[in-house]
Structure 1
């Protein structure tokens, strides 16, 4: 693969991830509402969709790491940004903006996922307590 093709794949992956993270953010929001409603059936369906989407995101992340290495990005921090900075001005600005937006969406998804996890764990702990169990039976020592 030549450099031009590698850059095309890199930019296409960023674009695909932008759409995927927007979808993931929506799924995580739906998951939150399903958790609040204790809707197990919806949670199961959402979990499957989230798992598939995250697997796709992880494949593209792995490809991005390989492409960055092949293009000589060097070591972290910010290898992708260093690669994008050498593009022609118009392409560079659009690519850097897309990359920054992707990083923002990733952080938003992480926050939503953490929120959902904390809600689920709290619900689980309360159910155990209501059933007469100990909420910290499996807590780390």
Structure 2
């Protein structure tokens, strides 16, 4: 791989991480909106928020796929992000390692919010099913 191609791959890799940092902030906000809409039983808001979440997640997944391909192009099939960062000079490497850690924390936070939202929606659905269809067994046998 030529030096120019290597630099282009590294630039694309770093740009994708920067885009994901912004996207995860947006995802965090959308997940909060989803929670508030579910909490307040505002079904009309849930659809558009879910569509926005889906589109954002699709774009982030495409960048993740590109990131894997770029790392493999730079380092071979077993290459890792940390190995890719090691190719950078000190200041750039430290910044990207910090951005990567920030991104990892954003992923964890959004997974937690997503689980919280899913749990709330499932619980609401379960309650609604019991209200509409009754309990299978209202009283426990003695």
State whether TM-score is above 0.5.
Answer: yes
For residues 50 and 73 of structure 1, the distance between their equivalents in structure 2, rounded to whole angstroms, comes to: 33
Conservation of the 8 A alpha-carbon contact between 1:20 and 1:53: yes
Task: Describe the superposition over 1:55-85 as per-residue Cα deviations: whole angstroms up to 9, x where unpaired.
Answer: 1001000000100111116537xx1122102
- Is residue 10 of structure 1 aligned with residue 16 of structure 2? no
Aligned residue pairs total: 133
Task: Please give the root-mean-square deviation of Cα atoms over the aligned residues, in Å.
Answer: 1.6
For residues 31 and 122 of structure 2, the distance between their equivalents in structure 1, rounded to whole angstroms, comes to: 16
- Is residue 86 of structure 1 aligned with residue 96 of structure 2? no
Unaligned runs of 5+ in 1: 136-141
Q: Who is 1:48 aligned against?
A: 51
For residues 120 and 82 of structure 1, the distance between their equivalents in structure 2, rounded to whole angstroms, comes to: 41
Q: Who is 2:133 aligned against?
A: 132
Larger radius of gyration: 2
Shift of 1:86: 2.4
Q: Who is 1:139 aligned against?
A: none
- Is residue 108 of structure 1 aligned with residue 113 of structure 2? no
Select the residue among 51, 68, 73 that pairs with 1:70: 73
Unaligned runs of 5+ in 2: 137-142
1:73–1:35 distance in 2 versus 1, CA, 3 Å: farther
Task: Describe the superposition over 1:1-27 as per-residue Cα deviations: whole angstroms up to 9, x where unpaired.
Answer: 711000000000000000000000010
Query: Which stretches of structure 1, 4 residues or more, deviate above 6 A after TM superposition?
Result: none
For residues 133 and 71 of structure 1, the distance between their equivalents in structure 2, rounded to whole angstroms, comes to: 60
3-state secondary structure, aligned to 1:50: helix
